[in-house]
């Protein structure tokens, strides 16, 4: 069947991720605090909450200490990466756990984290306004964004892909044309890439990728495009109807978004990533280990 062929083409074990996504609701909600864990009784503490942290010259850290709480911008509709289970109120995903790890390194446990869901188009403004201390959510490092904010990282590398219906004839970006409307999120790098490099392809945009997936399922659009790591999560949730096709056709390097002037926080996070390879791997394995995504931790810039 087409699904089998195309998924094999990109090495995706959708069924495996489906199983993983299902388990994710039971993954540690407090991995840093030493109390969470679903690893069959093993010690599942991935990182410790630091104490007596000092971060000289970081306005963000000063604000965090002042309010005694970390405010982190995330996604909550991207399974495997940044996801909120509204029935259990549990947040899961690779990005969410990276966000928790950073908070722990600053001395803040789960009960002192406030997560704020912020859509792709609103990230720079949220950081510039100081509405969040930092952002971890499939946020590609770009020169344009760096005019307003700074990035720590990269901590993950993926590329733009395509999600289509299992009955679709689209096999890669080469099959896109005037009759294939492609959906992506407002303010994202993938929608920009389609507009710039595939001007004949009609586009539709929403704030959230989950809205694009709805539009694909209803037949309003013929494909959803964004980072393959995101699309794999949606395909795994509905493998009867959705499949990822083709090879990644851009490189997306994920960074942690933070205030432009906060070099101290940027260096702190970069050091954490550089020194914390084992923790990075544990977070990857727990969230994306069975997804078929094969990546190693990238070196920070």
Interface with ligand GLU by CB under 6 A: which residues?
120, 137-140, 185, 188-190, 226-227, 252
CB of 2 to ligand GLU, least distance (A): 26
Nearer to ligand GLU by Cβ, of 140 and 270: the residue is 140
Shortest Cβ distance from residue 11 to ligand GLU (Å)? 20
What stretches of the chain show up as alpha helix (H) in DSSP?
A: 2-9, 14-24, 59-67, 94-105, 123-129, 143-146, 189-197, 209-217, 228-237, 263-275, 277-288
Cβ closest to ligand GLU, residue 104 vs residue 201: 201
Report how far residue 220's alpha carbon sits from residue 214's, in angstroms, rounded to the nearest whole number.
9
**Coil, strand or helix: which one is 124?**
helix
C-beta of 44 vs 266, nearer to ligand GLU:
266
104 vs 300, beta carbon nearer ligand GLU: 300
Report in angstroms how near the CB of residue 117 gets to ligand GLU at its nearest: 12
162, 173 contact by CB (below 8 A)? yes
> How far, in Å, CA of 43 to CA of 45, rounded?
6
Name 134's bridge partners. Answer: 72
Nearer Cβ to ligand GLU, position 107 or 154?
154
Give the DSSP letter of residue 122.
Answer: G
Minimum gap (Å) between residue 97 Cβ and ligand GLU? 17
Task: Output the smallest distance, CB 121 to ligand GLU, in A.
Answer: 8
Residue 93 near residue 79 (C-beta atoms within 8 A): yes
């Amino acid at each position: 069947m087409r699904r089998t062929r195309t998924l094999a083409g990109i090495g995706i074990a959708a069924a495996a991720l489906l199983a993983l996504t299902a388990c994710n609701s039971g993954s540690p909600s407090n991995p840093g605090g030493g109390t969470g864990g679903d690893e069959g009784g093993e010690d599942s503490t991935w990182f410790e909450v630091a104490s007596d942290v000092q971060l000289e010259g970081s306005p963000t850290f000063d604000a965090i200490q002042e309010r005694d709480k970390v405010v982190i911008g995330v996604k909550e509709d991207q399974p495997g990466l940044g996801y909120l289970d509204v029935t259990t109120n549990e947040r899961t995903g690779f990005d969410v756990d990276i966000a928790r790890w950073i908070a722990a390194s600053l001395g803040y446990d789960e009960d002192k984290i406030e997560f704020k869901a912020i859509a792709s188009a609103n990230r720079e403004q949220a950081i510039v306004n100081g509405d969040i201390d930092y952002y971890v959510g499939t946020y590609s490092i770009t020169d344009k964004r760096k005019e307003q904010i700074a990035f720590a990282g990269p901590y993950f590398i993926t590329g733009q892909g395509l999600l289509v219906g299992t009955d679709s004839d689209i096999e890669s970006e080469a099959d896109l044309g005037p009759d294939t409307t492609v959906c992506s999120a407002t303010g994202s790098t993938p929608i920009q890439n389609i507009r710039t490099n595939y001007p004949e392809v009609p586009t539709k945009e929403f704030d959230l990728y989950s809205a694009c997936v709805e539009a694909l399922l209803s037949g309003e659009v013929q494909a959803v495009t964004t980072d393959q790591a995101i699309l794999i999560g949606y395909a795994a949730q509905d493998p009867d109807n959705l499949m990822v096709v083709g090879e990644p056709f851009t490189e997306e390097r994920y960074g942690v978004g933070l205030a432009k002037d906060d070099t101290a926080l940027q260096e702190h996070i970069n050091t954490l990533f550089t020194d914390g390879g084992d923790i990075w791997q544990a977070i990857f394995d727990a969230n994306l280990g069975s997804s078929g995504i094969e990546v190693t931790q990238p070196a920070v810039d």
